Amino acid sequence: MTLSDYWLVVGSPHNWRTAFEHKNIWGLKQTQRHLWERLNEGDVLFFYVTSPVSGIIGHGIVRTKFHQDQPLWPQEIKEKKVIWPLRFEFNVERCLPLNKWQAFKITSGELFPRGGFQALDHGIARQLISKFTSLPKEYRVETPTPISLTETPSIYLGEPQQVEQALPSHDELKHRLVEIGQLQGYLADEEYVFDIGKLDVVWRRVVHSVPTYAFEIQVGGDVYHALAKLKHAFDLWNSHIFLVAPQADHGKVENLLSGTFHEISSRIKFIELEKVEELYRRKKAYLDFEEELGI
């Protein structure tokens, strides 16, 4: 296991408001690719707002990285081109409310924000987190980490029942994956068109964004073709990729991943057909329980 790195992310007040409005997305230019490639999921980010704030207003954790080929930011939309194609999503751990940015920002003489996006010394990073922890609670906005795709909060479920069921159809699985994506706050679409065909289901963070998650479903279909589409989605956007198929196809998939598609062998996830419905029930039960508690 590698240790997380720490990064100072510098932007104007307007750009930070835009980032938060677009569900926590930031982007880097092609000239910063060497930094983006060093960035890993789980790394810690510090949100530095330039003048007139001139300080850190929060921190968070990198959730996923992706390539963008569509304009997202207002400047990109205005100029009709992608300026910051190297994107990443992040979870907010702590962040000051907008009206407290100026008064309660965190500063340090050891920061050099002119670098725009830069690695931080671990000692300095821990000091900054300590300063946020010591702020009065009423001056912090703390955002819990979203439920991950693989989380299974079984505490809210009864004992599983051993019921013999027919395998779900391709369309049923697509509908369920869309519903699961919507439960997690994504824009979920079926039959997402891209340059080599259609992906069965994708989840996107915002309207003008590429797929963060891409799914192909195989119910007795062409596994090779499905893997080819998922590989292309990964190459284009750095998407999280998933193949949904019967357990009987697992060996065939492993063979292809050890040969033709070895480049994505460590990135793709295999989900058994039956697990999709179970995942939906668990997600729904978890969110229903939260709603019951008013959380």
At residue 134, the pLDDT reads 83
Nearest to 26 by CA among 94, 72, 79: 72
Distance between CA atoms of 17 and 49, rounded to whole angstroms? 10
Distance between CA atoms of 277 and 269, rounded to whole angstroms? 17
At residue 160, the pLDDT reads 47
Are 231 and 260 in contact by the 8 Å Cβ rule? The answer is: no
Nearest to 122 by CA among 202, 8, 16, 27: 8
Are 173 and 146 in contact by the 8 Å Cβ rule? The answer is: no
Are 52 and 108 in contact by the 8 Å Cβ rule? The answer is: no
Under DSSP, the state recorded for 137 is: G
Write the DSSP string, 143-204: -PPPPPTT---GGGS-PPP----PPPPHHHHHHHHHHHHHHTT-EEEEEEEETTEEEEEEEE
User: pLDDT of 69-108, one tens digit each?
Assistant: 888 777 888 899 999 999 999 999 999 999 999 999 999 8
Amino acid at 265: S
At residue 3, the pLDDT reads 64
> What does CATH list as the number for 170-291?
3.40.1350
- pTM for the model: 0.68
Distance between CA atoms of 10 and 78, rounded to whole angstroms? 22
Amino acid at 49: V
Instruction: Classify domain 6-139 at the CATH superfamily level.
Output: ph1033 like domains (3.10.590.10)
Nearest to 143 by CA among 220, 248, 63, 68: 63
Per DSSP, helices labelled H in the chain are 13-21, 33-38, 74-79, 101-104, 122-133, 170-183, 223-237, 250-258, 273-293
Domain ranges of the chain: 6-139, 170-291
Q: Which residues of the chain have pLDDT under 50?
A: 1, 143-157, 160, 162-163
Give the Cβ contact number of residue 174 at 10 Å. Answer: 21
Place of tokens 């300080």: 55
Give the Cβ contact number of residue 150 at 10 Å. Answer: 8
In sequence order, the β-bridge partners of residue 90 are: 62
At residue 166, the pLDDT reads 67
